[in-house]
Structure 1
Amino acid sequence: MSKYSGTPANRLIVSNQVGMRSRSSISQSGNTSGFSKDYEEFASLQLDKPLEGELKTSEEMKRHLFDDHFEGRPIERAMHLLAVGEEVQKLSVIRQLLQLIQADEQGCMQRVFPKLQQALNTASTEFHIETAKAFATILERRAISNHVFTQTFLPSILYHIDNRDQVVSNAWLDTLLEVTELLPVDIIRHEILHIAISKGQISQSVWHRVAACKLLGKLCTRFDPHTVKKDILPVVHSLCQDVNEAVRASICSELHHVAKGLPAEMVKPALIPILVELGRDETVQVRVEATETIVHMIPFLSQEVLKVTIIPLVKKICEQAVLAMDDTLVMVARQFGSLCLGLENCFTPSEKLWMVTYYNSMSHLGIPSHGAKKDVYFASHNMDRINARCVECRQLCAYNFPAMSKFCASNSELLEKLYPSFCDFATDPYYMVRKTIGCGIHEVARILGSNNRIVKNQVMTLLWDNMEEVLMGVVPHLGRTIDLLITSGVLGQEQDGATAELGRGLLQCDKTIRDKTHNWRLYTDFITQLESIVKCLPSDYIYTHFVSLMFDKMHKARALPCRLAAARTLLVFLRHNLKNNQRQEIRARIQAEFCMSSSCYKRMLFLRLCSIAREIFSRSYFKEHFFFLLLSRSDDKVANNRLLLVRQFPYLKSMIVMPNERKYLQTLETCIRNMAASEKDKDVTAELRLSVARLDKTDTLTDTPNMPTLEDIEDKKKFDEEIKLANMVPRPGAAIGILNAMDARRGAPQKPAERPTNYASGGGAAQKAGPASTSTQSKDSVTAGHTRVVSHSASSSHSATPSHASSTGSTHPSAPPSGKQSHMSSSSQAVVPKKPHPTFSESNSQIPSQGVQARFTQK
């Protein structure tokens, strides 16, 4: 065995190489030549052995220690560190400078600040950057007065902006620009203005003139128009004609600040000729800045100036950019939406058409003629085929498409010309273009409104995309997009073709995310967005294709957020399902596969599902279908599950209405007493004590009419919606219509929209199944908790119920008689399962003998 095998690093290496095999077994193995070679190479590194010179000497150790007399004396400690401390210790003093000033301003200014000024003369770049940030923070927090700051900190800032290190100089210049916004105008006039003017002279270096441009632009926002016109404007004119392109570009980027400081009548004669000249500059950098400055200056210019001067200048810049294919084209693409919206009221119809045509030409730059869809990554080996600048232009055009949609929304002709670019964005060879249009497609749908028909096809195209990045742009706003398409009438229960296409796209998107990505956050977001399909997809279609999908995710999804999102979406599907037998089936599966599961993780998911159900359903619905089922988990074998249950006790009590629902309270109290008597886990016991204390402070609801709270109003709204959904009848043939539309898309012959029939054993049974199920449409939603509660036990009041209702629970009094609904049985019920799973409501008649409540009573 090697002499290095006992070190921790080598033990880790050995364990990684051979797993659970011991080092001795490896050394005794015959086939270890390759491993021994690698092992010796790693062992020779001696990763856990201290390097020579790594140990600190006694003097170095003393330097990092403090005497006892520094305790409670932060000023002396800061002075000591600034004098003899290491770099990291000095930085800690700078980061605590604000606290030192707030604790002892006079002592800090008289003793620490002089030491700090001395340290700055020989300090590192990082020390300068931290000090500059600290000075700006001190003034921003108003830790000292403006007078003290002007006398002490401002001279240091003005001195260090001339530092030879450009990084240091930039840091101090940024600090000076920040304090310029905070200091009074008089101090700026006397302390800073003359410095900015002097640095803008032609005799100064290029860096000083560039700094002067930034300072003058900031000063224009603080001074009155007279001062700007008299003192600053001449220097601005001089800098605009500077021989250096960096200076011209810098002052060009500040012209909109100068325009803000000038009176409106002075902007045209003072700045427009300069702006036109800079827009036609021979240097790309200057033209790029001029393009951006035009966008910022539009609010300060009159309609006449915009029509006569700015629009021709913009068209000229655009034409030159396409011919030169330089960075100006990228800036034009970036600002094109702002240009169109800013100049919208000044354009003539022909000029609007010209802008849309130019936008379309930029949107197709660099696209291969064959149009084959192939992902091309930026700066990859395929970029020799597509120019990076063209790709960036297309991406920026996709980013500006919502703005262009708003620009063309009032003109159907322009909107029609814009549509080809929209289609090309969704199928662009470069994936980032598709992602960009996907990120903004909900904005396009919001802007177009009734014209959303052009959005639907591109949404479907993006849902079929196989790139994770593209789906990351589409999925977060998918629910909002679907809602907007529903509002505009593009999607809906009556739109079978569009609805079928949406369903197929969503299923394909789910398959892509599940099989081709490992992004559980994206998967969670997608599952959450599926809640919106209840507004447009038929209930039968959702039950057939998406309910089973949610159950599958609850069983197999690896990430807990995915399973929780699937549980929430499943409950939303349950709430909006229009068929009683399907609702019973969903609840029965929840009970059998999760509440009564042999897996502790699935039972835990059920407990979390109940917490979500409290948010989605009304109190009455929750108490009828989840209350006793939730309490049945009090005897769970896993302590963590019992812990989750105990935490829900106060919420369960808060939804009980007294005295009509005394049985719920008695069952809850019995459950708590049994757990208190038998619980052995210390964490559950401690949480149970806390829950009991919260229960004492939690009041039950009462039947007496009181002023309703916001929670009561929201619960009443949920209850009314549940009653409405329970009494709704599905549209006949909706699911078959969608299937026919799907077949038509695939080229198959359409099936006639026949009325669905019931496949029950025996004709008489089949005829009775329809009325029984439809007459109990409102079984899931009982009356409001403040007025009436349905019993969960087989009491005498239920013995007089008709035989077909005794198996399905009580019927809401507002529901129509079953005889009047018998003619709707075939249309409201597509398929009646031969052997339906037992539901909780159906098993409630047996509760006194073997149900959940009976177990609590027996205990």
Structure 2
Amino acid sequence: MSNLNESNKKKFSKDAFALFNLDKLSKRDLKTADQIQQHTVDGYLESRSIDRAVHLLLNGDEMQILNIIENIPNLLKEDIMGCLQRVIPRLHQVLLYGCTEYHMSACSSVQSIAQQKIISPEQFTKAFLQNIITSIDSKDTVAGEAWLSTLVKIIDIVPSKILETQVLPIFIKKTENSRPVKVRLTSCKGLGRLATILPNQIAIKSVLPVIISLCQDASAEIRSSICRELPKTGKFLSSDNSNLIGCLIVLSKDEENSVREATIQTVSQILQFIPEPILKSTIIPLIKNMFEKSIHNEDPNITEVARTIGLYCFNLKDYLFDGDKVWFLSRYIYLSQLSINTRRKTDKFAFVESTEEEIIINRLERCRQQCAYNFPAMVVFASNLGQQLTLLETVLKKFSCDPFYLVRKSIASGIHELIKLQSKWLPLLKDVFIKFLQRENEMVIEGLIPNVREILSTLKGHCSGLFGSEKIDCWKEITQALLDCEQMLLKSLNWRLHCDFIYQLNNLPKQFPYEYINQYFVPFLSERIINTRSVPSRMASVKVFLIIMIDESQIRQREKLKNKILELCNSSDFYSRITFVRAMSILLELSVKIFKTFFFLDLINMTGDKVPNIRLETCKMIPKLKAISLDPFDRKSLAAVEYSIEKLKFEKDKDVLDQIKIMKVALDALENMKIEGLKKDLLDTGMVVSPERKVTLPKNTDRGKGPPAKLPQRLKLCLNGLFRRRMRKRRKYIIMVAVKHIREYTKKQNFATFCDKIVSKNLN
């Protein structure tokens, strides 16, 4: 009965699976012989990319032509002259009557060529500019707008003379009232780019009048767009500023919110270009007027005011009187406290639609967020205002408790700056820092984590300056907050954030007393090394653990920490052993001395591990291990490396064998480098080897002083061993020993009798 049920189940599953019709092609899906013939290219064209491109532009279908157009940048990289002389002219013919998709793809390719600077400006201008100018007036409006946008983006690569004679008239013409708004907006961007590229005289004469006239355009979109281009004309403010300043004054009073918002943004960007007298007499009153209107009316521009107020205050602090500074500071404090309950225009009995209320709440939240972002700039601005500075402490406390998480995230990302700016606030900032670590969610902590290392370095001085129980409590609070934050991130499953947090602890030995490190951080790091599932987090823990181990303050605990690492090596768990091998790669970058003292032989023995992946990782490190054994020379370590290489000759795993080939290449390169070093050592003893490898010996200055002293017995043995066939494998190492004795011997005697022998028979 059971067999019958199983057969029915199998039959049912096959029938259900057949309903999907997987991997079944209908006759419609199959290509006909004509279609196959049409899409087949002759074999000789496959290796000739230029000929193939020309052939497909002439005879290919729509998809093939699009493919060639998109591939033009790569064709230019392969053969510039062939592509310019054969492919580009054919492309222009295709675009003449081509569809919109051809033009859009060609625009993308031209922009890519200009950005990558594949060809020279002269070649680019000759090959593409005239076709771009012609295509701008295409009957296809979509293609024309795309080519106009392309012209704006390639302005930088076109010579200035051609910009003046051919490109500038196009943008001026396209800004006329009869043109579509989208075309005029693109032309406004083009005029702004030209104002920065063209010579000053030409820009003042030809570009600036057009920009000023567009500031008075009937379309609010045009006024807003051209206003955002005014910062690019800032270099003209010092020479002739009356018209531009007048335009800014008019635009600041515009009836459209978008224009006033653009004006607030523009003025903040051109402050550095405006002369001091005009700043004090015109610009500062203008700024105060714009701010006051936006804040009083609570219009949509209030978020732009909150975004730029820090920039305004920072750039104007040297030009403002104390009364003006207090005014700006009071407006900032008001903006930082805006919420649905503190609005100026509040009517409890008025009916407000839910969507409108959501928009208002969102606007006020973004306003507070921008204020939190500008808080460090406002601290710098108010640093000389005395009692007014204390008002910002209250603002900081409110920001740290704000219901909108982005406000808290913004203030968290600036704590490291506040600690540097106001040392008097260290107790308050320490409490805020601990609060964020212990009670916040991962989205807020994401803004804090990149600067944790810097914050801890500053708080170290604060805690070290305390005495008695206060000092102990300070260290304990910070330590516990860090551990709580790490535990929360571990549970959040956001392994990237958890990994970044652990990396921020890589300066612990310099930030915490060693007692706290051994009591709190070493146990938690040991746990993470073994049990953390995320490999990046595990390796981050390993690196911090190794940094603690090699620190001089941990000399007494080094043996204990070393044994913790060796437990990974001797573990039966594959993940622990592979972690050990990767940990040794990190330790080699941190301290070669510690590695060679404690872990060299243990790592070498991993070449005999039963798991191929571990042998593979160890093979990658063998060239480094041999280099360490040779410099300085260590017979025991070198013998262990050579023995491990011999064992690898019996390897059968394919991936490990591939790595062994790479390892042998690296070892050969190491040997060649060592031979070159030995040649240099011999040269340093007094020889000069010419490019033809002829040896020139120093003059014998010992003539007439009796027979030379006998060679040392060890040196004789080394020299004799060099020329024995059975010693050829170790000849390089014997040379090293010989050089050592040569140096000792040549301090007293001339060595012309045997130096020629060494160089001619061994190094040549």
Same fold per superposition (TM over 0.5): yes
CA deviation after TM superposition for structure 1 residue 176, in Å: 1.3
Q: Which residue of 2 aligns with 1:467?
A: 441
Q: CA offset at residue 594 of structure 1?
A: 1.5
Query: 2:671 and 2:82 mapped to 1: Cα distance?
Result: 55
**1:536 equivalent in alignment to 2:511:** yes
Q: Residue in 2 aligned with 1:624?
A: 597
Q: Which residue of 2 aligns with 1:408?
A: 382
Determine which of 177, 183, 200 is the counterpart of 2:158.
Answer: 183
Aligned pair partner of 1:67 in 26, 32, 42: 42
**Equivalent residue in structure 2 for 1:198, among 173, 179, 184:** 173
Quote the Cα distance in structure 2 between the aligned partners of 1:639 and 1:402.
54
Relative distance call for 1:271 and 1:96 in structure 2 (3 A) is: same
**Residue 248 of structure 1, CA deviation:** 0.9
* Structure 1 residue 302 displacement after superposition: 0.8
Q: How big is each residue's C-alpha offset from its partner over 1:803-843, in whole Å with a ceiling of 9 and x where there is no partner? A: xxxxxxxxxxxxxxxxxxxxxxxxxxxxxxxxxxxxxxxxx
Find out whether 1:329 has 2:302 as its counterpart. yes
Asked if structure 1 preserves the Cα contact closer than 8 Å seen for 2:70 and 2:109, the reply is yes
**Cα shift at 1:159:** 3.5
CA shift, 1:301, in A, is: 0.6
Equivalents in 2 of 1:23, 1:359: separation in Å?
81
* Secondary structure at 2:572 match in 1: coil
| CA drift at 1:144 | 6.1
Residue of 319, 326, 332 corresponding to 1:353:
326
Q: Which residue is equivalent to 1:306?
A: 279
- Of 119, 127, 135, which residue of structure 1 is paired with 2:102? 127
Determine the C-alpha separation between the residues in 2 that align with 1:22 and 1:443.
Answer: 75
What SS does the corresponding residue of 1:346 show, helix, strand or coil? coil
CA contact (8 A) 1:217 1:257 kept: yes
Superposed CA deviations along residues 361-387 of structure 1, whole A, max 9, x for unmatched, are: 222222768xxxxxxxxxx99984971
Q: Return the structure number with greater helix share.
A: 2
Q: Are 2:276 and 1:295 equivalent residues in the alignment?
A: no
Does structure 2 retain, via aligned residues, the 8 Å contact 1:482–1:532? no
Q: Distance in 2 between matches of 1:236 and 1:96?
A: 38
Task: Tell me what 2:223 maps to.
Answer: 248
Deviation at 1:463, TM superposition (A): 1.0
Aligned to 1:230: 205
Q: Tell me how far apart the structure 2 counterparts of residues 235 and 22 of structure 1 sit (CA, whole Å).
A: 89
Structure 1 residue matching 2:318: 3-state secondary structure: helix
Alignment of structure 1 residues 763-802 onto 2, 5 Å:
none
Equivalent runs, 1:836-847 vs 2, <5 Å: none
1: CA distance, partners of 2:17 / 2:360: 45
Percent of aligned positions with the same letter in both sequences? 34
Give the drift of 1:132: 1.8
**Alignment pair present for 1:395 and 2:369:** yes
Shift of 1:492: 7.2
Tell me the equivalent position of 1:609: 583
DSSP-derived class of the 2:40 partner? coil
Structure 1 runs not aligned, ≥5 long: 1-20, 370-379, 707-859
Q: Is the 8 A contact 1:493 1:536 kept in 2?
A: no
Correspondences of 1:550-569 after superposition (within 5 Å): 550-569=525-544
Amino acid at match of 1:49: K
1:215 and 2:202 are equivalent in the alignment: no
Is contact 1:491–1:498 with CA below 8 Å preserved after alignment?
A: no
For 1:725-764, what aligned pairs fall within 5 Å after superposition?
none
The CA distance in 1 between the partners of 2:101 and 2:564, in whole Å, is 63
Whose RCO is larger (CA < 8 A, sep 6+)?
1
User: What is the CA-CA distance between 1:282 and the residue it aligns to?
Assistant: 0.5
Counterparts of residues 275-286 of structure 1 (less than 5 Å): 275-286=248-259
Pick closer, same or farther for the CA change 1:685–1:286 going to 2, 3 Å: closer
Return the alpha-carbon distance in structure 2 between the equivalents of residues 40 and 113 of structure 1.
56
Q: Deviations over 1:495-522 (max 9, x none)?
A: 433322211111110111111x112111
In 2 relative to 1, CA 530–48 (structure 1 residues): closer, same or farther, beyond 3 Å? Answer: same
2:67 aligns with: 92
Task: Deviation per CA, 1:552-571: give whole Å up to 9, x if none.
Answer: 11111111122111111112
1:281: how far off?
A: 0.5
The CA distance in 1 between the partners of 2:133 and 2:270, in whole Å, is: 31
* Residue aligning to 2:476: 500
Distance 1:51 1:416, change over 3 A: farther
Provide the C-alpha distance between the structure 2 equivalents of 1:500 and 1:129, rounded to a whole number of angstroms. Answer: 63
| 67 and 595 in structure 1: CA distance in 2 versus 1, 3 angstrom threshold | closer
Q: Structure 1 residues 628, 213: CA separation in 2 closer, same or farther (over 3 Å shift)?
A: closer
The CA distance in 1 between the partners of 2:625 and 2:122, in whole Å, is 62
The alignment yields a C-alpha RMSD, in angstroms, of 3.8
Equivalent pair of 1:241/1:248 in contact (CA under 8 Å): yes
Aligned pair in 2 of structure 1 residues 685, 104: CA closer, same or farther (>3 Å)? closer
Q: 1:497 to 1:198 in 2, by over 3 A?
A: same
User: Aligned residue for 1:511?
Assistant: 487
Verify the 8 A CA contact 1:499 1:536 in the aligned structure 2: no
After superposition, what is the alpha-carbon deviation per residue over 1:67-115, rounded to whole angstroms, capped at 9, x for unaligned? 3464555455334433443333222222333455577767656654454
What are the equivalent positions in structure 2 for 1:25-174 lying under 5 Å apart? 25=6, 27-28=8-9, 44-50=19-25, 53-68=28-43, 70-71=45-46, 74-98=49-73, 100=75, 112-121=87-96, 123-138=98-113, 150=125, 153-162=128-137, 168-174=143-149
* Contact 1:439/1:473 (8 A) holds in 2: yes
SS at match of 1:266: coil
Q: Which amino acid aligns with 2:234?
A: A
Structure 1 residues 48 and 493: CA distance shift in structure 2, 3 A: farther
Query: Following TM superposition, by how much is the alpha carbon of 1:610 offset from its aligned partner in structure 2, in angstroms?
Result: 2.3
Distance 1:641 1:81, change over 3 A: closer
Structure 1 residue 230 displacement after superposition: 3.0
2:572 match: 598
Q: Secondary structure at the match of 2:571?
A: coil
* Structure-2 separation of matches of 1:120 and 1:23: 69
Given the superposition, is the C-alpha separation of residues 23 and 409 from structure 1 closer, same or farther in structure 2, using an over 3 Å criterion?
farther
- Aligned positions of 1:435-446 closer than 5 A: 435-446=409-420
Q: Which residue of 1 aligns with 2:712?
A: none
Q: Which residue of 1 aligns with 2:406?
A: 432
Task: Map 1:665-684 onto structure 2 (within 5 A).
Answer: 665-669=638-642, 675=647
Give the conservation status (yes or no) of the 8 Å contact 2:607–2:648.
no
The 3 A distance-change label for structure 1 pair 359 and 664 is same
| One-letter code aligned to 1:25 | E
Tell me the TM-score normalised to structure 2 length.
Answer: 0.76
User: Is residue 237–residue 244 contact of structure 2 (8 Å, CA) maintained in 1?
Assistant: no
Q: Does 1:423 align with 2:397?
A: yes
Which is worse superposed, 660-669 or 86-95?
660-669
Secondary structure of the 1:254 match is helix
3-state SS of paired residue (2:240): helix
Displacement, 1:294?
0.4
> 1:492 touches 1:499 (CA, 8 Å); kept in 2?
no
Pairs aligned (count): 659
2:642 & 2:124 partners in 1: Cα distance? Answer: 67
Deviation at 1:274, TM superposition (A): 1.0
Q: Quote how far apart the aligned CAs of 1:459 are.
A: 1.8
Which shifted more, 571-580 or 192-201? 571-580
Task: Assess, with a 3 A threshold, how the Cα gap between structure 1 residues 411 and 616 changes in structure 2: closer, same or farther.
Answer: farther
Q: Which amino acid aligns with 2:544?
A: T
Q: 1:245 to 1:72 in 2, by over 3 A?
A: same
SS in 2 for 1:514: helix
Gaps in structure 2 of 5+ consecutive residues: 343-353, 682-764
Contact 1:539 1:576 in 2 (8 A): no
| 8 Å Cα contact 2:509-2:551 kept in structure 1 | yes
Check whether the contact 1:492–1:537 (CA below 8 A) recurs between aligned residues: no
Per the TM alignment, residue 475 of structure 1 is displaced from its structure 2 partner at its CA by: 1.7
